[in-house]
Every structure is written in C-alpha cells, then in structure tokens.
Amino acid sequence: MELKDSHNLIINNVRRFIELTDLEKHRFISLLKEITIKRKNFLLQEGDVAKYEYFITKGCLKNYTLDESGTQHISMFGIENYWTTDMASFISNEPSRFFIEALEDTELLAISRTNYELLFKEIPKFERFYRILYQRSLMSYIRRTNHGISLTAEERYFRFKEQYPQIINRIKQKDLAAYIGVTPEFMSMIKSKIKKKSET
C-alpha cells in the first residue's frame, strides 16, 4: 500500500532512529492528524495549552515569546522534516508563553498528548525515537546557549548562516534579528558592515 508524501516524510524521519514494521507504520500514521495553516496564522498563541506535538511536512514556522514592550523573541524556526511545539506546555498542560506562527502556508502532522501516550503504550520503541530526538534537540540548544553567552551578535549571525543555510533565505531579516537577539536596526548594520569588509 502506497503512502502519501507527507506520511513517507514522517516515517523516514522516524526511521532515522528506529525500525518499523508495516503494521507499526500504519498504526503510527493513524494516530496523526493532518493540519494546514495559512501564512500569518497561529498554531499556538500565548495562553493556549499546547495540545499537540507537530511534525512539519511543508512550510515554515516561527516559535516566539512577546515581552512587555511587544518585541518578539524567537526560540526556533521550523521547516519541513522538523518537529515543533511548546514542550513545557505540551507536557504539563499549562498555558503556553509562546506563539507559533506560520511564515509560509504550512502543512503539519500533529500528534495529541493522548495519542502520544497511546503510541508509547502500543509501540514502546517510540520512546527510543523521542529519546534520541530530544537528545539531539538538547544538543543544539546547549550549543545555542553557549553561543549566546560567548559570541558577539556578528559571530552569532555567521554561525546561523553556516548552520541553517536552508532557513536563512526563507525568513525576514527582522525575524533573524529576533532569533539572534538584536534589534532589526542593528542586524541591518551588521550586514552592511560585513558587506563593506568583503569589498575591500
């Protein structure tokens, strides 16, 4: 039996870390819900409880908080083949402090908290899958935390370009600034400074 492209994508994502029988594949897929969301719409808003963990099959999202002055602070971007949610809210069922907003028309596969637990019960090796997924995710946040306290904004910009070349072309410079942790104006200055350097 043929699978949809989106289902193939998530199955291949899972098979990076665990093997699945056909039966398991189909059971897993049956626990997912397809969601589409248009650019500028929200998957999650501050105060909502994150009821799902999402796998992105198409599109681009940003995950951010707003401070008192209305400034966005982006904790991650998500594109095809990435997972996203507000983990704290998803696990604890508490209201989220995050917004998840589509930067492009986006398609996702969502697993609810209930089905997530059911999945572990029925196919325990998914514990392994998520163990490894979170372990890797942890590694990139540790790296980012380290960069945040040890590098200047200019260096952080270079690291981002290096590490996420496939993302940098799809996002506004303003959002890049909100991820790096500087104002849009200063981000603009960094770019023009670099340009001047490379022209000499």
* Residue 113 contact, options a copy of itself, DNA, none, Cβ 5-8 Å cut-off depending on partner type: none
Site string for a copy of itself, 140-159 (x = CB under 8 A): -xxxxxx-xxx---------
Distance CA 82, CA 5 (A): 15
| By CB under 8 A, residue 42 contacts a copy of itself | no
Question: Which of 132, 145, 172, 194 lies at the binding interface for DNA (CB under 7 A)?
Answer: 172
User: Which residue's CB is nearer to DNA, number 137 or number 188?
Assistant: 188
Cβ proximity to DNA, 72 vs 112, nearer residue: 72
Q: List, in sequence order, every beta strand (DSSP E) within the chain.
A: 32-37, 42-44, 52-58, 60-66, 72-79, 83-84, 99-102, 106-112
15 near a copy of itself (CB under 8 A): no
Contact 127, 120 (CB under 8 A): yes
CA distance 48 to 88: 12
Q: Which two three-digit tokens encode residue 172?
A: 């506004």
Q: What is the dihedral sign for C-alpha 98, 104, 105, 108?
A: negative
Binding mask 43-82 for DNA (x = CB under 7 A): --------------------------x-------------
Could you say which of 54, 77, 130, 157 contacts a copy of itself (CB under 8 A)? Answer: 130
* Whole-number Å distance between alpha carbons of 23 and 64: 37
Q: Which positions lie near a copy of itself, rule CB under 8 A?
A: 65, 67, 71, 73-75, 87-88, 91, 120, 124-125, 127-128, 130-131, 134-139, 141-146, 148-150, 178-181
